[in-house]
């Protein structure tokens, strides 16, 4: 593969060559003149474009970072205006076609109501882009200002007049900036070649935790479906330089959590990663059917950046390989359907509910207002479904609202998934779009979320057939799955351990300070000679629960909290075979957590009844040493969230401390009270096999560039 940096001189471009051989010969000649640099133009991509018909394409991004304090969308408990800016917000537009162009504009926001799209359509009417040829999408970041009309019950009666006015001003600003992005993209159109490929990213995990088949809360349910497909569209100019990148991934944009700062979350970092790799490109990130999919892990800006870099790395990989050329711009087909709600309650129900107050009381007020105006409580929801089809090469589907992953699973089964792209959070924001399965399981996406979106009740089970039928109609028979189509490979999580050890290898290969390199070097030495630390757990005052282990899988664990001084959890080691003149290294998997709880004196590690060292809750690599230097405890977390971590513990025992062929009694004891901070060990260790993979990950990282 030949890599170029910068633009190729016009006299050297492929479209001027008389033959493929002549083009390749000149490419190699150019390559010999180039020095190493960032991959921007691929020679093979240039050659592949020879003879392809270009399409008029333009793109533009415009900043939409708020200019005054305003309440952020996404978390109902966060009712104060933003307190800081982590990253800038953008609206990004792509226009394809010369006559009757299509356009998509993506806003860094939690969601864009249909009324705001209608305002934008009016702005663009004089430019020849009507509602049917315009897609308005959102990245679903939960760290952008709330737009007027978004999840209206969430804020009803809870904001001040001044806050509502600022929301209104920001909404006006967002509409203006979206219009500017589209009109500028129209002006910047030039001949380009479109190509696409389908990749994969694995950080999305199903967040619907189930107990006995029913929704039990949010978390990480590994045995439920995901959509790890990562379709990418690229536009190259006549020189072969990448000018537009558009990626799509099905996952909530909630890595940062309820931090009251403005930011684009992982989608914003993904755009940044793509644009750094391809400096001439404008990047767009949209979201697939990820209503019940959350980023794993999550909890802070660093993790959000890592997820964004994961997207960027996969995009770079795809563009370095073979992309599928698109021979024309898209044809647009749309259909509006009605999503059926359960039978509405009578007026008496709403009058009684109004007295309760809270979110349900606000919903009741809204329903009574409709009845008082002579209207009816809604029994169905308007739902516009749109497709862009690029001949028989690619069908893009755009669905409004927060669409659960079951729709991607089913559409990838019934349609030709190698040629299918599904984007949700598009063209309206009616709320969650549950599947029949999710409705049966109940819970947030099926039930209570409807309140926030001012809907009077659940959807009926027929909703799934209505949506699937509309999609099949707008993409047409050309995209029906062939009888021998193999199943899409995107809907089951890879092994949690596989991901954890891959993440460990990436961490070990990453840039580090001198201190961090020394930590890794010493830890690697300990891991190579480590043996199992636990043969039998002695329960003491430990509790049992399922929680996230070193791989992010929920497993049975034993743990103690710092709710009472002296709470203790202990275990025995296997029979030891310590070598003379060499420290003994023992390993176990476990974790620590609930960092936001009050910090106390920590936990004491006791060895054969002797308190040896004190350690605490950490989400970063850590090392604690006894006062006499004879005992060390090393901790390397391989899974983290905003509160907890799980990973590998290594106990290093000096050569004079222990005699061969004996067992050691270990325990961990709470040194404080009044805090829910915890220490846990995994009930099932199997540490020998894990250490083999652990050492392999560290060894493979040493060979990475």
99 CB burial (10 A radius; 0-12, 13-18, 19+): exposed
Give which of 289, 253, 249, 246 is closest to 268, Cα–Cα. 253
Is the CB of residue 102 less than 8 Å from the CB of residue 332?
yes
Query: Which residue's structure tokens are 């509405």?
Result: 344
φ/ψ region of 391 (left if φ > 0, alpha if ψ in -120 to 50, else beta) reads left
Return the percent helix, strand and coil in the chain, to nearest 5. 30, 30, 40
**pLDDT value, residue 10:** 29
Note the residue count of the chain. Answer: 705
Structure tokens at 374: 């002579």
* Helices marked H in 4-96: 20-33, 43-49
Give which of 267, 295, 281 is closest to 137, Cα–Cα. 267
Structure tokens at 515: 């201190």
Structure tokens at 598: 């009050």
Q: How many CB atoms lie within 10 A of CB 159?
A: 16
Query: Which residue's structure tokens are 């476990």?
Result: 590
Q: How many CB atoms lie within 10 A of CB 487?
A: 12
Is the CB of residue 596 less than 8 Å from the CB of residue 559?
no
β-bridge mates for residue 541, sequence order: none
Structure tokens at 83: 């307190």
List, in order, residues 6 or more apart from 45 with CB less than 8 Å away.
Answer: 195, 236, 240, 319, 323
How many angstroms separate the CA atoms of 603 and 668, rounded? 6
Structure tokens at 129: 């882009």
Report, as ranges of residue numbers, the positions in the chain whose pLDDT lies below 50: 1-51, 703-705
**pLDDT value, residue 586:** 95
SS3 57: strand
Give which of 604, 613, 586 is closest to 679, Cα–Cα. 604
φ, ψ (nearest 5 deg) of residue 120: -65, -40
Distance of CA 252 to the CA centre of its chain: 6
**pLDDT value, residue 658:** 57
pTM, full prediction: 0.74
């Amino acid at each position: 593969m030949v890599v170029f940096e910068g633009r190729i001189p016009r006299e050297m471009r492929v479209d001027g060559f008389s033959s493929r051989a002549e083009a390749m010969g000149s490419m190699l000649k150019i390559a010999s003149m180039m020095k190493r640099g960032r991959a921007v133009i691929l020679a093979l991509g240039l050659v592949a474009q020879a003879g392809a018909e270009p399409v008029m394409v333009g793109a533009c991004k415009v900043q939409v970072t708020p200019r005054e304090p305003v309440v952020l969308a996404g978390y109902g408990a966060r009712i104060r205006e933003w307190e800081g800016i982590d990253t800038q917000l953008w609206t990004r537009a792509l226009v394809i076609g010369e006559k009757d162009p299509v356009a998509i504009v993506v806003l860094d926001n939690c969601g864009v109501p249909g009324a705001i799209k209608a305002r934008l359509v009016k702005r663009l009417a004089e430019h020849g882009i009507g509602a049917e040829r315009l897609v308005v999408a959102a990245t679903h970041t939960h760290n952008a200002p709330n737009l007027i009309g978004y999840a209206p019950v969430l804020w009803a009666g809870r904001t001040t007049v001044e806050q509502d006015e600022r929301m209104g001003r920001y909404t006006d600003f967002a509409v203006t900036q979206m219009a500017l992005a589209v009109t500028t993209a129209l002006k910047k159109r030039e001949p380009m070649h479109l190509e696409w490929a389908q990749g994969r990213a694995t950080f999305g995990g199903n967040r619907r935790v189930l107990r006995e088949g029913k929704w039990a809360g949010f978390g990480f349910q590994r045995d439920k479906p995901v959509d790890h497909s990562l379709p990418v569209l690229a536009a190259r100019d006549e020189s072969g330089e990448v000018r537009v990148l558009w990626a799509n991934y099905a996952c909530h944009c909630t890595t940062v959590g309820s931090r009251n700062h403005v930011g684009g979350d992982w989608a914003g970092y993904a755009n940044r990663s793509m644009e750094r790799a391809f400096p001439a490109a404008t990047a767009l990130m949209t979201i697939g059917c990820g209503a019940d999919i959350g980023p794993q892990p999550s909890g802070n800006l660093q993790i959000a950046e890592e997820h964004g870099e994961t997207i960027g790395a996969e995009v770079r990989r795809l563009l370095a390989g073979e992309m599928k050329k698109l021979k024309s711009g898209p044809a647009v087909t749309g259909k509006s359907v009605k999503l059926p709600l359960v039978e509405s309650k009578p007026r008496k129900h709403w009058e009684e509910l109004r007295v309760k107050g809270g979110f349900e009381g606000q919903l009741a007020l809204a329903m009574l207002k409709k009845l008082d105006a002579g209207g009816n409580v809604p029994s169905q929801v308007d739902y516009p479904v749109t497709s862009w089809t690029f001949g028989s090469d690619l069908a893009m589907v755009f669905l409004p609202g927060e669409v659960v992953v079951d729709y991607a699973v089913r559409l990838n089964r019934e349609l030709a998934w190698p040629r299918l792209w599904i984007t949700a959070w598009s063209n309206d924001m009616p709320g969650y779009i549950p599947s029949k399965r999710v409705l049966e399981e109940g819970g947030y996406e099926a039930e209570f979320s409807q309140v926030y979106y001012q809907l009077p009740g659940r959807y009926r089970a027929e909703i799934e057939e209505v949506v699937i039928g509309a999609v099949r109609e707008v993409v047409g028979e050309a995209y029906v799955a062939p009888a021998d189509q193999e199943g899409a490979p995107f809907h089951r999580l890879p092994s949690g351990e596989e991901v954890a050890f891959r993440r460990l290898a990436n961490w070990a290969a990453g840039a580090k300070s001198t201190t961090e390199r020394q930590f890794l070097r010493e830890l690697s030495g300990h891991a190579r000679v480590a043996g199992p630390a636990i043969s039998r757990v002695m329960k003491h005052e430990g509790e049992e629960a399922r929680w996230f282990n070193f791989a992010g899988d929920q497993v049975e664990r034993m743990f103690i909290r710092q709710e009472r001084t002296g709470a203790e959890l202990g275990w025995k080691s296997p029979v030891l075979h310590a070598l003379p003149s060499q420290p003994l290294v023992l390993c176990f998997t476990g974790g620590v957590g609930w960092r936001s709880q009050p910090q106390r004196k920590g936990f004491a590690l006791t060895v054969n009844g002797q308190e040896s060292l004190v350690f605490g809750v950490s989400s970063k690599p850590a090392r604690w040493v006894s006062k006499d230097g004879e005992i060390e405890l090393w901790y390397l977390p391989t899974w983290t969230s905003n509160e907890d971590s799980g990973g590998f513990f290594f106990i290093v025992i000096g050569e004079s401390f222990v005699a061969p062929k004996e067992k050691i009694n270990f325990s961990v004891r709470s040194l404080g009270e009044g805090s829910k901070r915890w220490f846990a060990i995994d009930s099932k260790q199997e540490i020998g096999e894990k250490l083999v993979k652990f050492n392999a990950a560290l060894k493979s990282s040493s060979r990475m560039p």
